[in-house]
Structure 1
Amino acid sequence: MARPEQRCTMVQFMAFIANLCAYFALGRSTVTVPLLLWSTESLPPLSPPVAGHIVPSSQLTADLTSVLRPGPHTVLLFLQDKLSKEDFTRYGGVYGNKQDGVFLNLEAAMQSSASSLVLPALEWSAASDAPALLQETLGVSPVLVDPDTLSGLQLNPANSTLLYFNLPYCTGLHKSCEQVLRSNDEIIGKVLSIMKDKNMLYTAIYTGLQPSRIIPETSMSEQPPGRSLLQAPVVDDVRAPIMFNDSGATCIMLWAQNLNISLTTNMVWIDLATQTPTLDGSSCNGTNSVLVLNYPSGIVLTFAMSQKLFPVSARNWFTLDSVRLESNNTAVAFTGARGIYAPAEYSFHCMSVNSFRDALLVRGETNLNTTHWMLNFVNFQIQGFGLANGAVFSYASDCAGFFTAGIWMGLLTTLLMLWILTYGLSMILQVHTMDRFDDPKGPSISVPQTE
């Protein structure tokens, strides 16, 4: 086994887990990292994910438990500081399958392994939980190992062992990401070669602590004028959703690109999404949920939701009953008069929720001091019930109707063209040939000539 100076102390490991929890607390549940698993042993069959499917933490937990639960295992955990699927597609290897790629050792290990599994899109939180999950499943503490000292370790195949290898990612100090990734691939190849020399069966996992972005983006202000490709700019930092926990479980989630409010007559907008609120006064239960956002500027925004059974649809629906805006001991309530509802197990999403144009929020109170108050929520999503999957929104019910303006324009244009075609065909069908003709054998018309 490992020497004492090589073994991670409990304090170091707890600090490591704390860093992982800090990353998880950022709430980037939609950000993904890849995970590659291969083994020299014949593992239980694991079904690969459906194309485009983001693998949740629960599925990873079930897969690792089914793989590692029976019998002792030697697990090699290669944790890179940052890793994204784009690293493979750009630099070749498992995904790119380039001959000159940098992941040659990794690809060879995957192809020659007895069992393998590739998760291209794994929830970032799930990847961060992998070390703790492996420790709990194997029942052993991780051993931080340097590849140069691995050959001197005495490994007992009768006991479970968790070897942890930390791999760097390119930063401003490195000349090339390709060189760093190639060096990491050589480290993986060296470790696997040592394990082969020791005649040790192992299961290896390669993933990242957080995603990386290797595709550079061009600032809109730096783009030259003229024609350009239509594309949405990539956002570097995704703001974490607001989550209210009750009894250790998340029961309310809210996210918005902008939470704009206007308290002045000249429509000066304040974006509350840039501020961090406290959730004092929030509550949730099986029928009612209240999310209270208390901002440092003294503004309070309250979302009241409820759910009940509608016999016509034979299912529970939740509605956003009201949004209450309070400032300087003055308050006004906006009711969700139309369109703010969704099945109880879904979330509600809308690109624009406002109180002044195509309003989904209608003023419910009359107060002369608040007649000019307005709300404008951009890319708004909320869920107050059915958050069984933790810090992830459920399937979203969007406010956009099926018959949008573009669809109506297309239908009307098509109907107009069909009417013109039908009218033209009917006019052509009404054309008939003459049934009477002049007799050419009859007397001709004579015109007398005068001198």
Structure 2
Amino acid sequence: MEASKCSSKVQLLAFISFFFAFLATGSCSAQVPLLIWSSDSLPPLASPAAGHITSSDQWTAYLTSTFSSGSHTVLLFLQDKLSKDDFTVFGGVFGNKQDNVFHNLEAALQSASSSVIFQASEWLGSSAILALLQDKLDVSPLHVDPDTLAELSINTSVNNLLVISLPYCTGLHKPCKDILHGNDEIIGKVLSMVKAKNIPYTAIYTGLQPSRVISESSVLNQPAGRSLLQAPVPDVKPPIMFNVSGNPCIMLWAQNLNVSISGTLPWVDLATETPSVTKSRCSSNSSLLVLSYTSGYTLSFYMSQRFYPGSARNWFTLDMVQLQYKDLTGVFLGSRDISAPAEYSYHCSFVSSVEEPLLVPNNSDNKNTSQWMLNFVDFQIQGFGLANGTNFSYASDCAGFFSPGIWMGLVTGLIMLLILVYGLHMITHLNTMDRFDDPNGPLISVPQTE
């Protein structure tokens, strides 16, 4: 009897330990859809259960078996970001909406000889799928433009890996529905060109990274008991981002981008509008972020990086900010304070051309520039070394270590210390009298001299 009780306690403790260990593993699960269709037959695949997440080993093994023999022409439609929610929200493969934007994609899946859909596959990194296909096909990827694909000569006797990069709505001036609809048109256009040339193909549609990460919060972190109703936290707007071949190159975020031209127009906050960044460019030594707004304003940030022997590292600086409105142009030169190590981002709570200016009007270029004003609130920018995907690198802040509050505290503390030292000095130098009045004795007489 006692042995059975002990065994039950051990099983109960083991179950509790497993339960809490399972809860402790609650984290962010990142998955991307993987859609494959082909003009030829694909290896069979059992339909996964609802909610099943395909592991990296499973989809790697499937792609290995798909391209194990023969020559293949692979069309890789690689979108900057993609999640299952993009289909369920805007219609398509997993959705049932009337305003479906994936007409060409659905038609391709239905008309293909065979197709396989991994609704949620484990995401390993932005270059995982491209590196795997490059290894299995033993060929270098060729990034092609859909407009010039018709002029490309494809040899079907060897393996071909054609990569078509597709944008996502983050940082662009169009809504997500329009961006995804444009990507669907590109998919239909490329497939039409390939079919017109009678080229057997295998197409893959996936994303460089998930557009949404589902947070699996642990039960242990949930507050117990009663709690007050709280106002929902407002969503933070995403940073403005310029990508090159699907990789982030320049990133900017600001709470306010206030501009005023020649003192005649009122202040305008450009941060409330969504700009176009198509005219931007970047290289290893210089970057240019051009924000074009539908209201007629164009804000350009010129950045450069160079090596400084004194610090033995590369630094990037914001050399110039140019503001254009219709036929008016104002140029502001960045001071030396707007700089940071090349692998960092630059942040400042207030960048202005008026009060304590970090942006100096270039009157030699335009005599009216001194009448123009820029005020950037909570400003952060990075033009080089974006290695963290959609996140800024460590920020180099413009605020000095000795702020006005610190100086006030130091001066006040120094004054109090001087008062204390003076008081101690007075106490230590007090002298007692060597004679005292005795009420029973004669009075002390103090001779006076004239």
TM-score (norm 1): 0.50
Equivalent residue number for residue 8 of structure 2: none
Q: How many residues align?
A: 266
Checking the alignment, whether the CA contact within 8 Å between 2:317 and 2:336 is kept in structure 1 is no
Matched, 1:375 2:282: no
Equivalent residue number for residue 411 of structure 2: 412
Q: Secondary structure at the match of 2:390?
A: coil
Letter of the 2:49 counterpart: V
Superposition CA RMSD, Å: 4.3
Give 1:342 shift: 0.7
Q: 1:283 to 1:442 in 2, by over 3 A?
A: same
Q: Which moved more, 1:420-429 or 1:355-364?
A: 355-364
Instruction: Describe how 1:313-392 pairs up with structure 2 within 5 A.
Output: 313-365=311-363, 367-392=366-391
Q: Secondary structure at the match of 2:300?
A: strand
Letter of the 1:387 counterpart: L
Give 1:218 shift: 5.1
Equivalent residue number for residue 243 of structure 1: 241
Q: Secondary structure at the match of 1:356?
A: coil
Q: 1:442 to 1:273 in 2, by over 3 A?
A: closer
Cα separation, 1, equivalents of 2:369 and 2:306: 32
Cα separation, 1, equivalents of 2:44 and 2:392: 34
Give 1:391 shift: 2.2
Give 1:333 shift: 1.2
Equivalent residue number for residue 187 of structure 1: none
Q: 1:114 to 1:443 in 2, by over 3 A?
A: closer
Q: 1:421 to 1:145 in 2, by over 3 A?
A: same
Q: Secondary structure at the match of 1:419?
A: helix
Unaligned runs of 5+ in 2: 1-13, 36-42, 53-57, 63-83, 86-121, 124-209, 446-450
Instruction: Describe how 1:107-126 pairs up with structure 2 within 5 A.
Output: 111=18, 118=25, 120=27, 122=28
Unaligned runs of 5+ in 1: 1-106, 134-138, 151-156, 168-203, 220-232, 446-451
TM-score (norm 2): 0.50
Matched, 1:426 2:425: yes
Note the alpha carbon deviations across 1:193-215, whole angstroms, 9 max, x for none.
Answer: xxxxxxxxxxx99x985469999
Equivalent residue number for residue 145 of structure 1: 49
Q: Secondary structure at the match of 1:371?
A: helix
Note the alpha carbon deviations across 1:355-401, whole angstroms, 9 max, x for none.
Answer: 11122111122545443311111111110001123222111111111
Cα separation, 2, equivalents of 1:117 and 1:140: 37
Q: 1:216 to 1:432 in 2, by over 3 A?
A: closer
Equivalent residue number for residue 185 of structure 1: none
Cα separation, 1, equivalents of 2:409 and 2:267: 36
Equivalent residue number for residue 279 of structure 2: 281
Cα separation, 2, equivalents of 1:260 and 1:302: 14
Note the alpha carbon deviations across 1:305-353, whole angstroms, 9 max, x for none.
Answer: 1111111111111111111111122211111114211110011111111
Instruction: Describe how 1:207-226 pairs up with structure 2 within 5 A.
Output: 209-210=213-214
Checking the alignment, whether the CA contact within 8 Å between 1:353 and 1:376 is kept in structure 2 is yes
Instruction: Describe how 1:115-194 pairs up with structure 2 within 5 A.
Output: 118=25, 120=27, 122=28, 127-129=30-32, 132=34, 143-146=47-50
Q: 1:332 to 1:413 in 2, by over 3 A?
A: same
Q: Secondary structure at the match of 1:409?
A: helix
Cα separation, 2, equivalents of 1:251 and 1:444: 94
Cα separation, 2, equivalents of 1:243 and 1:434: 82
